[in-house]
Structure 1
Amino acid sequence: MLFQRTLLLTAAFGSVAFMTASAVAAAPAAAVSPVLMTADAADPHSFARPREARVTHVDLDLRFDFAARQVSGTATLDIDRRPGARAIVLDSDGYQVTTVTDAATGKPLGFAFGAKDQNLGRPLTIQLAAATRKVRIAYSASNAAALQWLTPQQTAGKRQPFLFSQGEAILNRSWIPTQDSPGIRQTWSARINVPIELTAVMSGLRSDEVNVTNGGRRTYEFHMDKPVAPYLIAIAIGDLKFQPLGPRTGVWAEPATLPAAAKELEDTEKMVATAERLFGPYRWGRYDMIVLPPSFPFGGMENPTLTFLTPTFIAGDKSLVSLIAHELAHSWSGNLATNATWADFWLNEGTTTYATSRIVEAIYGKRVADQQIALGIDSLDGELKAQAAPDTRLAIDLKGRNPDDGMTDIAYEKGAAFLRVLEKEVGRARFDPFLRKWFADHAFQPVTSAMFVAAVRRDLVRGNPALERRLQLDRWVYQPGLPANAVPADAQAFAEVDAAVAAHARGTLPTATWARWTTDERLRFLNRLPRQQTRASLDALDRAFGLNAIGNDEVRFAWLSLAVANRYDAAVPALDAFLKAQGRRKFVRPLLLALNKDQSWGRPIALRLYPQARALYHPLVTGELDKLFGA
């Protein structure tokens, strides 16, 4: 998942003919991965008791009703149970169960919901007969936190309604009855019934359509034969068309968005090939993407075979498509080897952030990668100051908390900084094979921080006490703050931009260089300016660079952040338009929180804007903001 900064990339290559999912030579089905039984792999964010009984496969048969905004049908679960186990415990958060039966005999099974936890939802305990190995749950979900239902007016095309899911971290338990823990990997299949004018896509390979129209509806079939963490089961339904980008890559989008999206994403096939050279074979068959309506709350979500993307990356010049490098890298770090619990979220995102810079360097050059690393270090510096010391550890304690509390730049940027230390100390000639081996050894399995540290000691340190001291492994993973051996940013990466920042303090604007600067250079300039600016200074910046009307959303956010910090009235119309045009949490939340802090100037603006924009935002965005500004 990417909700942090976005990198600058530019390149192009031609697309080739589309190959349907059913035509892809599927890799052999992976064995269902075992559940780790170590203490650090016990998931405090799931009610499941996998030592007794665990889900190994989920089969969904669902009908989506857009008028009622409801999903209903059945979930049939394959179960692996120890001898003597009499029950299986699932996670739930809002779905309603009608019946539970033994799928083999059809006999009813007893079930009961437990007490509600404010972060986790409720346990669903199902009593098992002596021979039960498969249970069928008939259920419905009307207000699932993972699902956002959009009206036609909230889409790009304005013609049809739209639905998409966002399951990370623990939201899929709101619409899928299963054990919603990243350490309990499951294969899955689905039959999805939708209105005939809409298209359904999921994070698995699509089988041939069942072209049976019953009351103007169509059923789509999907399967994922490799065990995945449950949060990676994803769906989107809407007015969607497909355009191929290469032999195994393509993009889905609304017809109004598709041409621009395909043009922006035409480097994808090259990125897949580059990532394979760095990290090993791509194990998921296809790598397709879907550009969602602007309500999508993140930059991207790495759902296997179908990355979900925000339309805010479409800048018209490919300056923000490094988002794809990040989500693609998750095909190894996160999807292949997945954090067993959310305490080790850095194993997903820190490794991916490091891997992203390697893809960027291989395709676009070291200077671009060095600039990205420098921006990441800037973000990390800010996060280290903002977070309480215990939350600056990589292996974070999230017991009794929402797992979203750990989704900060500590996981992304401190994790990447840790891997850069390993690379520096042992060299790429050793580190690259180590990383490939890590992914291969733990393919389709849950992993923990302790496992990663043990692998470093076994495969890289190899008993060398001097290297052990230089790496400071335990300090990096288990202690707060940034160790002294962190690799600094390249001082020359933004030398020209930093000189322009200094010149701005003397009243000089970089009017000659701004036009040729990359997105990253523009971001560095705006973000490095002193937070206190005069109205005259902000007027000069806007006149020189057209910031109130700029089309690049990353730059626009940087500018509006500066404007809000200085009560710049001239930017309020641009702020109004920005908050009503997209629902990306990275942009919406900081701007509204900054407005709220200014009780006399900013909060009245937020109180006016939020009710007008709220319908566009995903529950992941509105949860906190509703408490401040009302639902």
Structure 2
Amino acid sequence: MIRTRAGLVSALALAAALGVSACSTTRGSDMPPLPASADAPVDYARDIHSYARPEIARVRHVALDLQADFSAKTLSGTAALDIQGVAGANEIILDVRDMDIRSVSDASGRPLQFETGASDPILGQPLTIRFPALSAGETRRIVIDYSTRPNAAALQWLSPQQTAGGQKPYLFSQGQAILTRTWVPTQDSPGIRQTYDARITAPADLTVVMSAEMLTKGGEAAADGRKAWRFRMTNPIPPYLIALGIGDLAFAPLDERTGVWTEPGRLPASAHELEPTAAMVDAAEKLYGPYRWGRYDLLVLPPSFPFGGMENPRLTFATPTIIAGDRSLVSLVAHELAHSWSGNLVTNATWSDFWLNEGFTVYFENRIMEAVYGRDRAMQEQVLGYDSLQETLATLPAADTRLKIELQGRDPDDGLTDVAYEKGALFLRTIERVVGRERFDAWLTGYFDRNAFRPMTTEQFLADIREHLTRNDPVLEQQLQMNAWIYQPGLPSNAVAPTSPAFAPVDAAAVAFFRDKGPASAIPWSGWNTQQRQRFLGWRPEGLRANADWLTAAQLADLQSTLNLTNEGNAELTFAWLQIAMAHRYQPAVPTVERFLTEQGRRKFVLPLFTTLWGEGDWGRTLARRIYAQARPLYHPVTTGSVDQLVGRS
């Protein structure tokens, strides 16, 4: 329950009054029926990152009819919203940012009164639309005629030169966390689930894909020689999962329900690399129940995509940096697939509850990797994650090392750290260790079923696990320390660091080279997998977590030449090497860092490398400014927003 102008209004009463399905379109041809949980009453948590007041009136369905103009870098057209509310509600509040609203009307075309409020640099503006009072259970359609702006932060418009083919432009969206409001006027809160359909018109030589079922294979003729593409998503989703891609795209199936989209020249390599996807879907279903989204395809994007992957339903958006040639980085696919349960099915109600998406997903990802690749590979991934978590815990303010994070007045991206991901997963592994895997798996399967297509708060999670797993057993509660994991900084006393015997020879080789100054020729590099190589390059002297000078120039030269790090094709290994090289101001690696930072825009790599350079005084800052001036136009706003803060660029 949250406070409104009329006082305290229960969303339970609202849902009971509505009494209708969340789905306003026919079910997709390959989509299973919605469970009863999808229509159960929702007690909306207050979302500090949205102006919406869903306890009064909420969006149930979005119908987009947009035209992509690559020359103007805009999407323009209409968003028709199906809304519902309590009896007597006469307005709805949406979230918009950097958007031009031309008009608002009802389903018959009659104008409706609307106004936008003051603009906040993080939240954007409230868009308030007024209409005749709603009746109990009524669904009303409002139509918004609008256009995005070229600076819409969710959208990146790429020139042909920024693509692999070099001949045609490209557009992709990235909505998480609160950027959907820059291209779709709706209630942009993860707790307000919505179905959607879309008609997207684009140049005839481009292909349109979305996070939804494609209804027009190959598109259909539209005005001015363009093509229109139609889509529908009949599962209610949080609005950050509405996603769009337009470009020169080709498709290759992996099996009957999985496949890969990407630029034609990259399709053979991408399809080969991502071939394990089909086996991962099978493994995930055996672990925690049916995949409820029909198809599971991937879109391998141009290098400027800011994340490793984005779990857009039916169509994971992925960075090309996972195409390593040896399938060594496909845990990213396992991660985004796992989101089809943890995140897309059961969603954090607010961004302070983000760990419920990512902690569960990292845990689930590792179980998929174990099922497909074996326990040893899974444990290596766990150890690397734990090492990364230790570095994060050492650098963040204590308050930001809690799972339930305070984000008042902050961008929700501030919570996108290894605390949500790795501490969250470690918490779940702790529960599994204490209660046993069989018992934990039974609870987790039930958790996904009971809460399918629903928002989840941390407090609701605790209520669920106490009712269905711990049974409020005081002894078990004491063993698990759940409140300490969630609400206290750092790691509780029952945290156990994962170990992998595969890393013992790696650690010995690291000590021999880094500490004892042995030759790089003694490193058994060729016999290691990627995870072992990451462990080696991540080694630091005891007590030294921050970058510092701890290698000689001769060692750096030996390492670079012997391991051929200048020509390393694996992005994770290149990144790990450059972190060492730049911390030592190693000039021979400067061409490599320049190339790496101007050929891809994945924030996981870009921000830490610029941070390292920035910490190296005049040498590093001069280099950072020079590279960033060249690279910034290539990056998505998600990445530039972070790096701009570092280098002080307005």
TM-score (norm 2): 0.91
Q: Does 1:26 align with 2:17?
A: no
- Tell me whether 504-513 or 468-477 shows the greater mean CA deviation: 504-513
- Tell me whether 336-345 or 25-34 shows the greater mean CA deviation: 25-34
Q: Does 1:141 align with 2:148?
A: yes
Paired position in structure 2 for 1:11: none
Deviations 1:30-57 (A, max 9, x none): 675567436xx21000000101100000
| Greater RCO structure (CA 8 Å; 6+ sep) | 1
| Aligned mate of 1:59, from 34, 39, 63 | 63
Measured in 2, the distance between the counterparts of 1:610 and 1:102 equals 47
Q: Does 1:566 align with 2:584?
A: yes
Q: Is the 8 A contact 1:194 1:217 kept in 2?
A: yes
Paired position in structure 1 for 2:528: 517
Paired position in structure 1 for 2:602: 584
Q: Is the 8 A contact 1:35 1:183 kept in 2?
A: no
Unaligned runs of 5+ in 2: 1-26, 542-547
Q: Does 1:215 align with 2:224?
A: yes
Residue type at the aligned position of 1:179: Q
Paired position in structure 2 for 1:6: none
Q: Is the 8 A contact 2:298 2:315 kept in 1?
A: yes
Q: Is the 8 A contact 1:374 1:493 kept in 2?
A: no
**CA apart distance, 1:455:** 1.6
Measured in 2, the distance between the counterparts of 1:361 and 1:382 equals 25
Measured in 2, the distance between the counterparts of 1:425 and 1:110 equals 58
Measured in 1, the distance between the counterparts of 2:125 and 2:69 equals 25
| Aligned mate of 1:299, from 305, 308, 325 | 308
Q: Is the 8 A contact 2:28 2:213 kept in 1?
A: no
Deviations 1:102-132 (A, max 9, x none): 11x3211000000111210000000012357
What does 1:119-518 align with in structure 2 at a 5 Å threshold?
A: 119-131=122-134, 133-142=140-149, 143-209=151-217, 210-490=219-499, 492-504=501-513, 505-508=515-518, 509=520, 511=522, 513-518=524-529
- Tell me whether 327-336 or 512-521 shows the greater mean CA deviation: 512-521
**CA apart distance, 1:491:** 5.5
Deviations 1:241-269 (A, max 9, x none): 00000110000000011110000011111
Q: Is the 8 A contact 1:29 1:225 kept in 2?
A: no
Q: Is the 8 A contact 1:241 1:258 kept in 2?
A: yes
Unaligned runs of 5+ in 1: 1-21
Residue type at the aligned position of 2:258: T
Q: Is the 8 A contact 2:99 2:148 kept in 1?
A: yes
Q: Is the 8 A contact 1:47 1:91 kept in 2?
A: yes
**CA apart distance, 1:344:** 0.6
**CA apart distance, 1:629:** 5.9
Q: Is the 8 A contact 1:53 1:79 kept in 2?
A: yes
Paired position in structure 2 for 1:526: 537
Residue type at the aligned position of 2:81: L
**CA apart distance, 1:284:** 0.2
TM-score (norm 1): 0.94
Paired position in structure 2 for 1:609: 627
Q: Is the 8 A contact 2:28 2:233 kept in 1?
A: no
Measured in 2, the distance between the counterparts of 1:507 and 1:533 equals 9
Residue type at the aligned position of 1:440: D
Measured in 2, the distance between the counterparts of 1:23 and 1:88 equals 29
Measured in 1, the distance between the counterparts of 2:160 and 2:297 equals 24
Q: Is the 8 A contact 2:568 2:574 kept in 1?
A: yes
- Tell me whether 428-437 or 461-470 shows the greater mean CA deviation: 461-470
What does 1:519-558 align with in structure 2 at a 5 Å threshold?
A: 519-530=530-541, 531=548, 532-558=550-576
**CA apart distance, 1:86:** 1.4
Measured in 1, the distance between the counterparts of 2:533 and 2:521 equals 10
Secondary structure at the aligned position of 2:534 is classed as helix
User: May I ask how many residue pairs the two structures share in their alignment?
Assistant: 607
Residue type at the aligned position of 1:37: D
**CA apart distance, 1:512:** 5.2
Q: 1:540 to 1:529 in 2, by over 3 A?
A: farther
**CA apart distance, 1:28:** 2.6
Residue type at the aligned position of 1:345: F
Residue type at the aligned position of 1:319: S
Q: Is the 8 A contact 2:90 2:133 kept in 1?
A: yes
**CA apart distance, 1:213:** 3.5
Residue type at the aligned position of 2:529: T
Q: 1:186 to 1:145 in 2, by over 3 A?
A: same
**CA apart distance, 1:608:** 1.2
Deviations 1:115-157 (A, max 9, x none): 1112100000000123571100000012211000000000001
Residue type at the aligned position of 1:514: W
Measured in 2, the distance between the counterparts of 1:29 and 1:524 equals 44
Residue type at the aligned position of 1:118: P
Measured in 1, the distance between the counterparts of 2:429 and 2:627 equals 42
Counting aligned pairs with the same residue, the percent is: 55
Measured in 2, the distance between the counterparts of 1:141 and 1:553 equals 34
| Aligned mate of 1:97, from 96, 101, 117 | 101
Q: Is the 8 A contact 2:31 2:292 kept in 1?
A: no
- Tell me whether 506-515 or 356-365 shows the greater mean CA deviation: 506-515
Residue type at the aligned position of 2:144: I
Measured in 2, the distance between the counterparts of 1:139 and 1:562 equals 48
Paired position in structure 2 for 1:18: none
Q: Is the 8 A contact 1:607 1:629 kept in 2?
A: no
Residue type at the aligned position of 2:508: A
Measured in 1, the distance between the counterparts of 2:538 and 2:120 equals 40
Measured in 1, the distance between the counterparts of 2:204 and 2:472 equals 63
Residue type at the aligned position of 2:526: A
**CA apart distance, 1:322:** 1.2
Residue type at the aligned position of 2:113: G
Measured in 1, the distance between the counterparts of 2:289 and 2:128 equals 41
Measured in 1, the distance between the counterparts of 2:648 and 2:534 equals 30
Secondary structure at the aligned position of 2:75 is classed as strand
Paired position in structure 1 for 2:544: none
Residue type at the aligned position of 1:107: R
Measured in 2, the distance between the counterparts of 1:537 and 1:127 equals 69
Secondary structure at the aligned position of 1:485 is classed as coil
Q: Is the 8 A contact 2:597 2:606 kept in 1?
A: yes
**CA apart distance, 1:506:** 1.4
Q: 1:485 to 1:404 in 2, by over 3 A?
A: same
**CA apart distance, 1:510:** 6.0
Deviations 1:217-262 (A, max 9, x none): 0000000001000000000000000000011000000001111000
